[in-house]
Amino acid sequence: MPRGRLEGIFTVPSGGWTLSATNGTGGPSTVTIAAGTYSTTSYASELQTQLNTSRPSGWTVTPSFGESGTGLVTINCSSTNWAITWTSSELGSLIGHTTITSRASSLAGGICPAVWMPDCAYWSPFDIGDHGHYVTDVRQTVSPNGYVKTLYGNKMRVLLGLKWAAVINSRVKAFNVGSAYQPFEEFWRTVLLGEVYTSLTAGSPVRFYPNADSASTIDYRIADLGTFAPPQLVDGWAGRYRVELPRLIEDPT
Residues in the chain, total = 253
Q: Is the domain of 35 the same as that of 106?
A: yes
Residues 6 or more apart whose CB falls under 8 angstroms from that of 141 comprise: 148, 149
Which of these three, 68, 87, 115, is where a domain ends? 115
Handedness of CA 205, 224, 130, 171 (dihedral sign): positive
Q: Is the domain of 132 the same as that of 246?
A: yes
Which of these three, 88, 115, 142, is where a domain ends? 115
Residues 6 or more apart whose CB falls under 8 angstroms from that of 2 comprise: 67, 121, 122, 128, 210, 211, 212, 213
Q: Is the domain of 240 the same as that of 124?
A: yes
Residues of the chain with pLDDT under 50: none
pLDDT of residue 134: 95
Q: Is the domain of 18 the same as that of 44?
A: yes
| Structural domain count of the chain | 2
Q: Is the domain of 131 the same as that of 215?
A: yes
pLDDT of residue 128: 81
Q: Is the domain of 128 the same as that of 98?
A: no
Residue 37: strand pairing partners: 11
Q: Is the domain of 99 the same as that of 122?
A: no
Helix (H), strand (E) at residue 91: helix 89-93
Residue 122: strand pairing partners: 164
Which domain covers residue 148, as residue numbers? 116-250
Q: Is 211 exposed, middle or buried (0-12, 13-18, 19+ CB in 10 A)?
A: middle
| Residue 216, φ and ψ in degrees, nearest 5 | -70, 130
Q: Is the domain of 174 the same as that of 202?
A: yes
Q: Are 136 and 216 in contact (CB under 8 A)?
A: no
Q: Is the domain of 109 the same as that of 179?
A: no
Q: Is the domain of 142 the same as that of 107?
A: no
User: From the centroid of its chain, how far is CA 247?
Assistant: 17
Q: How far apart are CA 231 and CA 124, in angstroms?
A: 18
Q: Is the domain of 120 the same as that of 106?
A: no
